[in-house]
Structure formats: C-alpha cells, structure tokens
Structure 1
Amino acid sequence: MKQILAAALAGPLMAGSLTAGVAVARADDLVTTYQTDEAFADVAQDIQDAIVNRGYVVDYHGHIGDMLKRTAGDVGAAKPLYKNAEFMQFCSAVVSRSVMEADIGNIAYCPYIVFAYEAEAAPGKVVVGYRRLPKGDGRDQVNDLLDEIAKEASGQ
C-alpha cells in the first residue's frame, strides 16, 4: 500500500467509521485522511502505484519521518513523532491545464501531494491523506483524483 506524510497538513478532523479493519480517520475542508492496518511499506508502494497507474509521474518522494529523526537533536526534540512518514508529489498536464484554464491562479495548488504516516504512538496504524483544494474553479476534479488515490492506497 502507499503512504505519504504531511504533518503540516494536520488539522481538526471529524472521526469516521470502521469498515473491514479500515477506518476513515478524519475529514474536513482542509485535510482528508483514511486509516489502514496494512504495513507502511505496502501503503507507500500503493500510493506510488495509484499515481503511476493513472499515467502520472511522482516528481518527488519526501521522507519527512527520516528528516525529523535525523534532525531531532539539532532542534532539541526528545519525542519521536513517527515510525514512518512520507509524501509523494505529482502533477498532471491534463488535469492541471483544465484547473488552470478555469482560474489561472490555481497554479498555487500544483503539484498535488498525497501523504502517509505511522505515528510512533500508534504503531501498525497507517494514515493516508491529502490536503483538499478549495471547492470550485476546476479544483473539484483534483480533490476527486486525490481522494481516489488515497482511498486506493488505504484499501477503501
């Protein structure tokens, strides 16, 4: 499965319901997340596959969890946050053109990011999600795309 991290994207979210071992962890107008008990490495691979199998290229695969572990001493951090945390960014020429033709200012939302993390405090539970774009002006199709990828990677 796929997984990516965006700790900066976290916000207050509404709890969802458990279905077949997989739960909708959070959803609001800022961030949508899904939870799974699949292994983090599998989830991360599923995210990449969900992006690539749609014909997109992962432009960057960020390893935020590793960076936070590596720099913990430099910033005086004593508490580990994540067992694993990553994000993948990508763009779509077709989708982006459509979104930017609707509003040229939508360039602000590209590239698109899907994240996954496994919290140190909740080992074995992987959260997959994305930051939602504001509704309208062509952005709804990006939200739909990101939701499809996050659901696929989390087994929804």
Structure 2
Amino acid sequence: MMPLSIRTLCLVLLSASALSLPAQAVEPRVANEHLKVYSIGGDYALYREAVEMAIIDRGIVINNVAHIGPMLSRTGADIGGEAIFLHAEALEFCSALLSRRMMEAEPHHIVFCPYVISVYELADEPGTIHLAYRRPTLLGDARSREALEAVDTLLDEIVREALAF
C-alpha cells in the first residue's frame, strides 16, 4: 500500500502551490454572533479534505464526522421534502488546551465542546462550497470571554486555511 493516497498527494501539491500565491482575502458570507459561513466555488471533496487536514495539522483529533447529507437523503423518502444538500458533513473536534482553558474559566462551558465545522454544498447552489461553524457565545468574566474568543479564533483560522486551497 502506498503511504500517500492520490487524494492526499493532490492536496499536498495544491497546498504547496497555494503557498506560492498571494493570500486571497475571503470574507464570510454570513457572520453574526452565532455562526460564520464562508462560501467558495469549487469541489466539495477538496474543501472537505482541506478542513480535515487543517484540523489534523494542528495536532487535533477529529472525534466524529456527522454525515448529515446522506442522513437527510436517506430519511427524505420517509418524511418528505426536497433535497437540501448535494453533500454535507460536520467535523467534530476539541483542542485539549483551549477546551481546558475554557472550562477552567467556567466549567459549564463544557456545552461549547466539541467544536464543529460543517462543509456542505446546497442542492440549489451546486459548485458553491460552504464552510461554517458555530461561534461560542462570549459570556462570563474577562478570563472566560478570552478563552471563548480563542476557540472562535481557532475555528476561523482552520476555515480560512482550508479556503486557501
């Protein structure tokens, strides 16, 4: 078995070429206190893999991948409704360091873990890939808000790195 899959090799080559290009400013399509959604034209598999690699490259383990698109497709026949997504997955993970800081500041902030980044392509908007995440609510004392802001920053950095491909 080859040590690198073709898909991983392509991602490595694309990331190397992306490093030689000037960074493109990407603004979120939706940004509010609850979520951020970035959108980009391209291939779903490429951006899904890019998000995974951006997480793993930070030494963070992905705990779960929720296959939301296939679940909705599978159940759609039973409960009715049109197709929503062509592809949709949510990657769940935590940073041990940031999660510890967040919960040392306020143990009840356990509800903000795991972090989730969703990657999806809408059925009525093929070719546009969306990378989105829930933003932790900045609450509590200064230490608590600072820990939550660090989580928000991590999520944004991961998404922006994936968008650079």
2:144 counterpart of 1:141 = no
State the identity as a percent.
Answer: 35
* Bigger strand fraction: 1
Deviates more, 1:21-30 or 1:97-106: 21-30
Gaps of 5+ in 1: 1-18
From the superposition, tell whether residues 22 and 101 of structure 1 become closer, same or farther in structure 2 (CA, over 3 Å). Answer: closer
Partner-residue secondary structure (3-state), 2:138: coil
Give how far 1:151 is off.
Answer: 1.2
TM-score when normalising by structure 2: 0.78
Deviations 1:48-69 (A, max 9, x none): 0010000000000111001100
- Relative contact order (C-alpha < 8 Å, sep 6+): which is higher? 1
1:150 corresponding residue in structure 2: 159
1:92 corresponding residue in structure 2: 95
Q: How does 1:40-119 map to 2 (within 5 A)?
A: 40-77=44-81, 79-119=82-122
Give how far 1:28 is off.
Answer: 0.5
TM-score when normalising by structure 1: 0.82
Runs (4+) of structure 1 exceeding 4 A deviation are 19-23
The structure 1 residue matched to 2:125, chosen from 122, 132, 141, is 122
Deviations 1:50-100 (A, max 9, x none): 1000000000011100110011011122x1111111110001211111111
* Bigger helix fraction: 2
The structure 1 residue matched to 2:42, chosen from 23, 38, 42, is 38
Quick check: 1:23–1:36 contact (8 Å CA) kept in 2? no
CA RMSD of aligned residues (A): 1.8
2:30 corresponding residue in structure 1: 26
Give how far 1:152 is off.
Answer: 1.3
Q: Structure 1 counterpart of 2:148, which letter?
A: R
Distance 1:58 1:71 in 2: 26
Quick check: 2:24–2:164 contact (8 Å CA) kept in 1? no
Gaps of 5+ in 2: 1-22
What is the total number of aligned residue pairs between the two structures? 137
Give how far 1:114 is off.
Answer: 0.4
Partner-residue secondary structure (3-state), 2:29: strand
